[in-house]
C-alpha cells in the first residue's frame, strides 16, 4: 500500500497539481494587492473618493466610524464592499488563469508539432517516366 502511495505521489499529475496550488496561493496575494493597492484607488478616484472595501450596512445598534470598528464591537454588518472586491479579485484571477492556460496550450502544441515533422517520409514510388520505360522494355521482350 505504501508503494502504491509513493507511485501515486510520483505521478506527474499530482506534482503538477501541487505546484499549481502553491503558485495559485502566491498569485492570489499578488492579485489581492493589485486590486487593493492599484485598482481600488483608481475606482475610488472616479467614484468621488468612495472606498468600496469599507462599504457596509450595519445590522445592529450603535454608530461606528468604520466597518472594522463595528466588527470589533461585535455588531453584525453586511459587508457588500468586501464582496464587490472579492468579485473583482475573482475576475482578474480567472482572466489571468485563462491567459496562462492559453499560453501553456500554445507551448504544448508547438512542442508536439516537431514530432510530426520528424516522422520518416514514406519512400517515393517510381515516377511516371520510370513506369513507362519499364512497360516499353516489357513490351520489347514480348515482341
pLDDT in tens, 85-110: 888 878 887 887 788 889 888 988 88
Q: How far is CA 74 from CA 10, 26, 54, 105, 128, in A?
A: 48, 31, 16, 49, 93
3-state secondary structure of 77: strand
Query: Which tens digit of pLDDT belongs to each residue from 20-67?
Result: 888 888 888 887 788 778 887 887 788 777 777 788 888 878 888 888
What pLDDT is recorded for position 118?
60
pLDDT at position 123:
73
Residue 116 has pLDDT above 60, yes or no: no
Q: How far apart are CA 2 and CA 9, in angstroms?
A: 11
Amino acid at each position: 500500500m505504501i508503494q502504491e502511495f509513493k507511485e501515486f505521489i510520483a505521478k506527474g499529475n499530482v506534482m503538477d497539481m501541487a505546484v499549481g496550488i502553491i503558485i495559485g496561493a502566491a498569485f492570489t496575494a499578488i492579485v489581492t494587492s493589485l486590486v487593493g493597492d492599484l485598482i481600488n484607488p483608481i475606482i475610488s478616484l472616479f467614484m468621488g473618493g468612495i472606498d468600496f472595501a469599507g462599504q457596509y450596512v450595519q445590522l445592529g445598534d450603535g454608530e461606528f466610524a468604520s466597518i472594522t470598528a463595528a466588527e470589533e464591537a461585535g455588531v453584525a454588518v453586511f459587508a457588500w464592499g468586501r464582496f464587490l472586491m472579492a468579485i473583482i479579485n475573482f475576475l482578474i484571477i480567472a482572466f489571468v488563469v485563462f491567459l496562462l492556460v492559453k499560453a501553456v496550450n500554445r507551448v504544448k502544441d508547438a512542442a508536439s508539432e516537431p514530432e510530426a515533422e520528424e516522422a520518416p517520409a514514406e519512400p517515393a514510388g517510381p515516377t511516371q517516366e520510370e513506369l513507362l520505360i519499364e512497360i516499353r522494355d516489357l513490351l520489347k521482350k514480348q515482341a
